Amino acid sequence: MTLSTQAGGAAVRPLGVLAALPQELGDLIAAMQAESGVVTRTFGRRDYHLGTVHGAPCVVTLARVGKVAAAATASALIHAFDVQAIVFTGVAGGVGENVHVGDVVVGETLLQHDMNCEPIFPRHEIPLLGRARFDADRALAQALATAAERFVAEEGAALAAQFGGALPRLASVAPRVHRGLVISGDQFVASAAAVGVLRALLPDALAVEMEGAAIAQVCYEYGVPCAIVRTISDTADEHASASFSSFLTDIAGTYSTGILKRFLASYR
Ligand code: SAH
C-alpha cells in the first residue's frame, strides 16, 4: 500500500502529516480535497488521507492521543505509506519561563519525560537505545520555524482582532516562535506543582505534550526525518484544562492552517 506520485517523471515519496486531534489539522484535508481530491485508506483503526496539498504530496492522518498511538501511527506512515519524512502539528502546554498561550514552539530536541528506568539506566534514557534526547531534522525544523514566523508576522494583527477577547495577551503582544526542547509523556500536565517538577528535572524544556518524543524515537530508529510544531494552548497549570479546551475549539485550527500552508508551499 504505497503511494508514489509522479513529478517531473520521478516518483516522489509523500510527506506524512500528523496531529493527535482533528482540530489540530486546521483546513488541511479540505485543502487537499480542493487541490487534488483525497483518497482515504483505513488501516489500524485510522484514516490515512492521500493527495497533494499546497503543492506537496502528503499522507495526512490523526494519531489520537498519547505515545503509543503516536508511535503506532508513525510506524504505519513509514511502513505502509513509505513517507520520506513526518511532520507533527498540534497544541501543547507551555513550561518554559517565557512561553505563553498563543506562542509557537518548534521542537529541535524531543524527550520522554515519563521514561524512568533508574537505577538500571539514567533517568529519561530509553532502555537499550542509549539515549534520552532525539533530534528533529534540522532543515524541517528550520522550515517549520520560518513558516510559523511568517504566519505570526502576516496574520498576527488578524489573530489579535479575532482572538484578543479570549486571549488578552494576543491583543497587546505578538506571539513568539520558540525553538528547543519539547517533552512528551502519557499525562495531561495540569498543576503548577507538576510543572515545577518538570522544570527542576529539565530546565531547558519549553513545552509539554503527549506524542512528539514517541514519533521522534520511531523516526530515529528508522532513519526518517521528523519535526514537531506546537501552538501553546495552556501553561500546564490548574487552568490548563479550560485553556486547552477553548484554545482547541476556537484557535488551534487557525494556527495549524496558517503554519502548514506556508510550510507545505515551501517544502521540496
Ligand atoms: N480529552 C482531551 C484529551 C486531550 S489531551 C480531548 O480529546 O479533547 C491533550 C492533547 O493536547 C494531547 O494530544 C497533548 O499532546 C496536547 N497537550 C496540550 N496541553 C497539554 C498539557 N498541558 N499536558 C500534556 N499534553 C498537552
pLDDT digits (tens, 9 = 90+) for 35-55: 999 999 999 999 999 999 999
pLDDT of 175 > 60? The answer is yes
- Write down the pLDDT at residue 217: 98
Q: Which of 65, 103, 231, 255 to mutate to test the pocket of ligand 1 (most atoms within 8 A of CB)?
A: 65
Which amino acid appears at position 75 of this protein?
S
- Write down the pLDDT at residue 78: 98
Q: Which residues contact 40 (CB under 8 A, 6 or more apart)?
A: 47, 48, 49, 50
Ligand 1 neighbour 188 (Cβ under 6 A)? yes
Kindly indicate the confidence band of residue 2, based on its pLDDT and cuts at 50, 70 and 90. Answer: very low
Q: DSSP letters of 73-92? A: HHHHHHHHH--SEEEEEEEE
Residue 98 main-chain phi, psi, to 5 deg: -105, 25
Residue 60: C-alpha distances to residues 83, 104, 148 (Å): 11, 21, 19
Q: Which of 64, 235, 241, 244 to mutate to test the pocket of ligand 1 (most atoms within 8 A of CB)?
A: 244
User: Domain 15-265 - what CATH class?
Assistant: alpha beta
**Residue with CA nearest ligand 1 atom 26:** 209
Kindly indicate the confidence band of residue 186, based on its pLDDT and cuts at 50, 70 and 90. Answer: very high
3-state secondary structure of 116: coil
Rounded to whole angstroms, the maximal C-alpha distance in the chain is 57
- Write down the pLDDT at residue 10: 58
| Contact yes or no for 57/10 (Cβ under 8 A) | no
Q: Which of 195, 209, 198 is nearest to 106 (CA)?
A: 209
The beta strands (E) that lie in the chain are given as 5-7, 10-12, 15-19, 39-43, 46-53, 56-62, 85-94, 104-112, 133-135, 177-184, 205-209, 226-234
- Ligand 1 centroid from CA 35, angstroms: 31
- Write down the pLDDT at residue 268: 76
Kindly indicate the confidence band of residue 222, based on its pLDDT and cuts at 50, 70 and 90. Answer: very high
- Ligand 1 centroid from CA 210, angstroms: 7
- Ligand 1 centroid from CA 192, angstroms: 16
| Contact yes or no for 173/265 (Cβ under 8 A) | no
**Residue with CA nearest ligand 1 atom 3:** 65
What would the grid cell of residue 266 be? 515551501
- Write down the pLDDT at residue 3: 46
Ligand 1 atom closest to residue 189's alpha carbon, by position in its atom list: 23
Q: What is the pLDDT of residues 86-98, one digit of tens each?
A: 999 999 999 999 9
Q: What is the pLDDT of residues 92-124, one digit of tens each?
A: 999 999 999 999 999 999 999 999 999 999 999
Mean pLDDT, the chain, whole residue set: 95
- Ligand 1 centroid from CA 93, angstroms: 8
Beta bridge partners of 201: none
Ligand 1 atom closest to residue 236's alpha carbon, by position in its atom list: 22
Of 133 and 169, the structure prediction assigns the larger pLDDT to 133
Give the rounded distance of the alpha carbon of 29 from its chain centre.
16
Percent pLDDT > 90 in the chain is 92
What would the grid cell of residue 223 be? 532513519
pLDDT of 5 > 50? The answer is no
3-state secondary structure of 72: helix
Ligand 1 neighbour 64 (Cβ under 6 A)? no
Ligand 1 atom closest to residue 20's alpha carbon, by position in its atom list: 13
200-204, 214-218, 264-268, range with the lowest pLDDT: 264-268
